[in-house]
């Protein structure tokens, strides 16, 4: 039997569940409390790097950050942290902060709540095992914070962080120039989304993270030229 389509229902029956679902989703998103920006008055910005660690590009990025004396935040994919624990320890030894970014980097909207919350919990414990310390910070894959995503973050007791600036360094064909141009509006409180690895690339070219690593000195110079400190998230 075919399920009845919404158009088959009386108008009132269509409206009520939809409104309740909408209200519940809104309440869950508010409760999950994903933050996007720092206090603008503090005069600081944060660089964040997702999807790593990567055995080639993460060390190159860490060298660059050390040279520039910048601390950043890394949202690590659990299965990668598990595969490269020495890299996780180096990120921490260099003074950066680590959070988790799921275990397997799923498309969150494809999973039910139980599966998604399980993936988020597992990702956090994989990162914590590699790091040897608590890692409550979390970034949802694809920035997904809607209904199920919010409920999964709450179930995983995550402290979620989104971003304010996305210079699209994940796009195949992104260049150092395009990434720096994408950050040109940088101001106090901004959180910048960057990638030292790419999960589920749109094309293999995106796996090469050289342009992001090369953009970091110019982004740091831009921030410092505007009197902004570079800080890690908390």
Residue 195 annotated as catalytic: yes
Nearer to Zn ion, 50 or 190 (CB): 50
Q: At its nearest, how many Å lie between Zn ion and the CB of residue 106?
A: 10
Nearer to Zn ion, 51 or 190 (CB): 51
Burial class, 44, CB count within 10 angstroms (exposed 0-12 / middle 13-18 / buried 19+): middle
Angstrom distances, CA of residue 222 to CA of 57, 135, 142, 216, 230 = 22, 29, 26, 10, 11
Nearer to Zn ion, 45 or 198 (CB): 198
Return the residues of window 113-142 that contact Zn ion according to CB under 5 A.
141
**Choices 20-28, 50-58, 127-135, 215-223 (CB under 5 A): range interacting with Zn ion:** 50-58
Q: At its nearest, how many Å lie between Zn ion and the CB of residue 23?
A: 29
* Residue of the chain from 49, 50, 143, 188 that contacts Zn ion (CB under 5 A): 50
Backbone angles phi, psi at 47, to 5 degrees: -95, 135
- Retrieve residue 80's tokens: 């990668």
**Alpha-carbon distance 214 to 120, whole Å?**
31
**Alpha-carbon distance 131 to 76, whole Å?**
11
* Residue of the chain from 28, 51, 123, 189 that contacts Zn ion (CB under 5 A): 51
Nearer to Zn ion, 141 or 188 (CB): 141
- Retrieve residue 143's tokens: 């920035």
Residue-wise over 86-109: b if at least 16 C-beta within 10 A, else e? Answer: ebbeebbeeebbbbbbbbebbebe
Return the residues of window 203-222 that contact Zn ion according to CB under 5 A.
none
**Alpha-carbon distance 140 to 229, whole Å?**
26
Per the residue annotation, which of 50, 54, 169, 196 is the catalytic one? Answer: 50
Judged by DSSP in three states, 228 sits in: coil
# binding residues, Zn ion (CB under 5 A): 3
**Choices 4-12, 42-50, 120-128, 200-208 (CB under 5 A): range interacting with Zn ion:** 42-50
Nearer to Zn ion, 194 or 228 (CB): 194
**Alpha-carbon distance 207 to 60, whole Å?**
14
Nearest to 153 by CA among 166, 163, 143, 168: 143
Residue 166 annotated as catalytic: no
> Pattern of binders to Zn ion over 140-179, x per CB under 5 A?
-x--------------------------------------
Q: At its nearest, how many Å lie between Zn ion and the CB of residue 70?
A: 21
Q: At its nearest, how many Å lie between Zn ion and the CB of residue 73?
A: 13
**Active site residue ranges:** 50, 195
Task: Note the residues at the interface with Zn ion (CB under 5 A).
Answer: 50-51, 141
């Amino acid at each position: 039997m075919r399920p009845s389509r919404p158009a088959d229902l009386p108008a009132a029956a269509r409206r009520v569940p939809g409104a309740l679902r909408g209200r519940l989703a809104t309440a869950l998103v508010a409760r999950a409390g994903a933050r996007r920006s720092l206090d603008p008055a503090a005069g600081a910005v944060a660089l964040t790097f997702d999807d790593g660690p990567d055995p080639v590009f993460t060390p190159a990025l860490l060298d660059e950050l050390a040279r520039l004396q910048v601390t950043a935040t890394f949202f690590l994919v659990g299965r990668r942290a598990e595969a490269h624990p020495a890299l996780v320890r180096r990120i921490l030894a260099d003074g950066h902060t680590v959070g988790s970014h799921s275990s397997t980097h799923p498309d969150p909207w494809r999973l039910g709540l139980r599966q998604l919350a399980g993936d988020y919990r597992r990702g956090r414990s994989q990162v914590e095992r590699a790091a040897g310390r608590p890692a409550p910070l979390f970034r949802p894959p694809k920035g997904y914070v809607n209904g199920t995503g919010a409920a999964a973050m709450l179930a995983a007791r995550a402290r979620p962080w989104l971003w304010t600036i996305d210079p699209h360094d994940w796009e195949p064909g992104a260049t150092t120039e395009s990434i720096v141009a994408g950050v040109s509006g940088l101001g106090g409180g901004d959180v910048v989304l960057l990638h030292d690895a790419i999960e589920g690339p749109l094309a293999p070219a995106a796996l090469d993270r050289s342009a992001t690593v090369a953009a970091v000195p110019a982004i740091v110079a831009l921030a410092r030229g505007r009197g902004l400190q570079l800080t890690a998230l908390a």
